[in-house]
Structure 1
Amino acid sequence: MALIHEELYRSTNTGYVGLDFSEYLKNLTAYIFDSHNMKTDSISLKLKLDQVNLGMDTAIPLGNIVTELISNALKHAFPNESEGEISILLCKKENYKHYIENSENVRTDSHCQGVEDLQFVLVIKDNGVGLPNEIDFKEAESLGLQLVNLLVEQIDSCIELNRDNGTEFTIWFKDITSV
């Protein structure tokens, strides 16, 4: 929350009442890695971030989703201090195709992509051991995944899971503040 308040304070000084979510993600991910004592180089972080400004009603739940998914990856995706990568993509919906053109795992079965009023895409991916197939993330017993699903609903967004080569959550969303 302190990071959001700091970013909000900076943005109100420029005349915009909202949050530069891409800048917030840089600070948030650094904080999460630090809080999990990720001082080694075993897990790298790769960020591809379009500048996206969001109102607080979207930014706060989305920040909580990111925190939960990154924390889960750091705790579970890389057992025994194995090496790996966590990547985050944040972009406008119209730029998404450009970012995934050179990707190895391009999904063509996205039901969320066809939803008209979703303006942005957030992808959180790790190349770790992957979420076990027996876990239905939409009906998960874990409090963390339940929270992610509740927050996705709260911001009227759509979430998908890809289990190829690790775990990849794709969240299609709009800025509910501007609606």
Structure 2
Amino acid sequence: MLQKIPVLVSISTIQDKYGNNLGALCIGSDLTDHKLAEEARRKDMLLKEIHHRVKNNMQVISSLLSLQSRYIAEKKYKEMFRETRNRIKSMALIHEKLYQSRTLENINFREYITDMVHGLVLSYSDQGIALEIEADDISLGVDTAVPCGLIINELVTNALKHAFPERRGKITVGLYGDGTIELVVKDDGVGIPDSIDFRNTKTLGLRLVTILAEDQLSGEITLIRDKGAEFHIIFESK
């Protein structure tokens, strides 16, 4: 089977000492590797631009929600807008990290957790809440990073809203493993009562956590109700 390959051809004449043409020298260079490298570079540039635009578009949506929330007087609905904005920000941050990464396919999730969780605390203006990040140096692809980031967003938000009536306490986010990943989000607050089934609660946040953990990550989620709330999610890195 014939196959076309890119070739660079250079031709020069061969002459004797009197300037008479004796023939020609033809040299061909296979440009396949060069062509493939150029195509890969263009794809990387395109992918980088896509991540950049997705991040910018999400930031625009977040800003629009922020502007719209200023015209809402009822606290319950303002809080819904804030939670939606934080979900969008958690996804936008992933695309920002992908844009900054060398491979454009994976992000350092420890750096992502640190930036995202600190941003959440600032959005709630909770200076009395201490944060602790215990994360291995783990890289995750976008298909795993997005649901994992949303889970952290929901659990940290839930702790900020409900765990600390006196606005004092600590939230710890841990990420451990290689291949099999364990995500831990815990607080030392008032805890979740035994009467509440977090898988069937009426609140969107905890229901979303279950859906993301079990359906998106194909993982297992457990809750330890001891001296606060401690969620463990175990899943395979994709």
Q: TM-score range by the shorter chain?
A: 0.7 to 0.9
Deviations 1:86-131 (Å, cap 9, x if unpaired)? 01111106xxxxxxxxxxxxxxxxxxxxxxxx70111000000000
Please list, as runs of the form range in 1=range in 2, the aligned pairs for 1:161-172 lying within 5 A after superposition: 161-172=223-234
Q: By how many angstroms is 1:168 displaced?
A: 0.2
Q: By how many angstroms is 1:22 displaced?
A: 1.0
Q: Which residue of 2 aligns with 1:18?
A: 106
Q: By how many angstroms is 1:17 displaced?
A: 1.6
Please give the alpha-carbon distance, in whole angstroms, between the structure 2 residues aligned to 1:16 and 1:144: 29
Q: Which residue of 2 aligns with 1:152?
A: 213
Whichever residue aligns with residue 74 of structure 1, its letter is L
Please give the alpha-carbon distance, in whole angstroms, between the structure 2 residues aligned to 1:152 and 1:133: 21
| Aligned CA-pair RMSD | 1.3
Please give the alpha-carbon distance, in whole angstroms, between the structure 2 residues aligned to 1:49 and 1:80: 28
SS in 2 for 1:152: helix
Whichever residue aligns with residue 158 of structure 1, its letter is E
Please give the alpha-carbon distance, in whole angstroms, between the structure 2 residues aligned to 1:158 and 1:16: 28
> Percent identity over the alignment?
44
Q: Which has the higher strand share?
A: 2
Q: Which runs of 5 or more structure 1 residues have no equivalent in the other structure? A: 94-117
Q: TM-score, normalised by structure 1?
A: 0.78
Q: By how many angstroms is 1:16 displaced?
A: 5.5
SS in 2 for 1:90: strand
Q: TM-score, normalised by structure 2?
A: 0.59
Q: Which residue of 1 aligns with 2:170?
A: 85
Whichever residue aligns with residue 73 of structure 1, its letter is A
Please give the alpha-carbon distance, in whole angstroms, between the structure 1 residues aligned to 2:137 and 2:188: 25
Q: Which runs of 5 or more structure 2 residues have no equivalent in the other structure? A: 1-90
Aligned pairs, number: 147
SS in 1 for 2:218: coil
Please list, as runs of the form range in 1=range in 2, the aligned pairs for 1:1-179 lying within 5 A after superposition: 1-11=91-101, 14-15=102-103, 17-38=105-126, 40=127, 42-81=128-167, 83-92=168-177, 119-153=180-214, 154-176=216-238
Q: By how many angstroms is 1:2 displaced?
A: 2.2
Please give the alpha-carbon distance, in whole angstroms, between the structure 1 residues aligned to 2:208 and 2:92: 20
Please give the alpha-carbon distance, in whole angstroms, between the structure 2 residues aligned to 1:76 and 1:20: 30
Q: By how many angstroms is 1:15 displaced?
A: 2.9
Please give the alpha-carbon distance, in whole angstroms, between the structure 2 residues aligned to 1:138 and 1:6: 31
Q: Which has the higher helix share?
A: 2
SS in 2 for 1:69: helix
Q: By how many angstroms is 1:142 displaced?
A: 1.4
